[in-house]
Structure 1
Amino acid sequence: MMKGSEDPSSRLQMIPLGLIEVLNPRERNSRMFEQIISNIQCIGLKKPVVVTPRHDDDGERYLLICGEGRLKAFRSLGHSEIPAMVVDVDDESAFIMSLTENIARRKFSPLELMVGIKQLQDQGYDKKAIAQKTGLSPEYVYGILHLLKDGEERLLMAVGSGRIPLNAAMAISAAGPDNKAIQAAMQDAYESGKLRGTQLIQARRVVERRRVQGKAMGGRTASRKAPEGVTSTSLVRNYQREVERQKQLIRKAEAAQRNLLFIVGALRQIMADENFVNLLRAEHLDTMPQYLAERVWSKGIAG
């Protein structure tokens, strides 16, 4: 990401506030804005804004790349000028710098992040390039793009209003564009507190596995699409059934492990009796499955 203080062609100067236009405006939290004003009043401007010059029939003006909060704070405090780092870049570069600067700050709302990522994609950047420019992981960028492409409208609205965090929304949207009923059920389950965190992902996997196996939520034969009647209650119920099934599998595996340990211990004791072993050999019963033999004799089957 390009920063004005690191660009050899940049220059620091005082710019009249009236000549600066905001290139990529953002909605700002009022409490955070008041904090910016307070900081400027107490210690001054620690970091200049970043602008790029433009010339037209009305004279010179500047597009703001970075520092909208500082610019608004200076206007609110009654200043007429602001220290600015001036960089010479074209419109597209200025737009990309503005977006990536806002995203890289990591002080964005989920909606701002989604909009910023989508704007970068619309500018022709793929997920790898977006990740490099923003400092986000390619997987995270892909998840956001997937949410924007396959997320239900009500899910996007929930993210925008702050009812659902972005990570949870990305997990919900992974149910796919053909499974709006599942997306809605997962969203309802999350908002009601029935499923949270990894439970949400596990519940979606349960539904996907049942669909692939040709079973609907209620156990009836179904098409590859999820049944329209799926609800948050049925989603939670099937998740709980799957959890209980896995617990039963674990209990059975533990029981089998205990039985195996008992059998191996018993075989070791009786195989230590040479007379018993000779009797087995005489009756041609001196072999056993390799799985057991490797545990009874650590060096393999006794000769």
Structure 2
Amino acid sequence: MRRRFALCRSLAVLGRFAMFCCGSLCCGIPLRGSVSVFGSVAVLGCTRSGGGHSPLRRRLSVRGCSRTCSVSMCGGARGFTLRGAAAIGQADAWRQMMDETKAEAARQALFCEHVLAKSGSNVLLETLREATSVANWEHFPAGDVFDPETGAQWYYHSHPPQEGQGEHGHFHCFVRPDGAKGPIHHIVAVGVDPYGRLMRLFTVNQWVVGDNWLEAEATITLLPRFDLHFARPSYLVNRWLSAVLALYADEIRALIRERERVLAAHQQANGAPARDDRALEVTSELGIDLRQMAAGLGV
């Protein structure tokens, strides 16, 4: 069995590869000196076994800095796995990448608010600017907002004011993965005060919005698709709302899972399905503060 390897990127490697049969590869790469690897190491080669050839291509992402270390890789048909210090370094790199993704989302949300404020407006005023009057429960803008490229959809409405709540209304955010005529799935609702400032995120029972029900994990997979590039009613509002869902993606995933737990534990006296119980409206919620979140990310 022979393998030919090409290591891509500028990387000094001292050591040897230990190779095993049955389509599996294990190797230790001792690294000497000050090494910083960003991006990926592409391992390409060809396996000869019994006169046949089986192409091999694996991509390994490594980040970190070490004076003397060993990157241990084990892989077969499904790819390589990092072990030991290399795995810790990869986890750190993943966290750094996610923090930067969140920081960028925070910058986008704050930028949209800043531009609107300079113009004497805010997220709520922009959302309602086409309205001649604002009635409770009425959808704004009329007909909802739908981006046909991503399947993201939303509308804003307000409820009768409740003492001490301070919330003007909320954006109900959905995704239609199969297009405008396909099923619609509620992701999360975003509550704002009368000045359009973020107040809370929450999930609702099925009867509240009448969506096509999906279990928690299936709903979570749709979250990245809530990304609108659409002019109506305001491009800034659409980008702000998209940024908010990206910024709080971890929290939204937790809320969706909590929704599932609450519904599973809920029982009506008459034995009717929990998703139809009018007494259960909000299934999970979380108070949020955009500026506090941004400050925590160094934005």
Q: Same fold (TM over 0.5)?
A: no
Considering fraction of residues, name the structure with more strand: 2
> In which range does the TM-score fall when normalised by the shorter chain?
under 0.3
TM-score for both structures, normalised by structure 1: 0.21
TM-score for both structures, normalised by structure 2: 0.21
Q: Which has the higher contact order (CA 8 A, sep 6+)?
A: 2
Q: Which has the larger radius of gyration?
A: 1
Considering fraction of residues, name the structure with more helix: 1
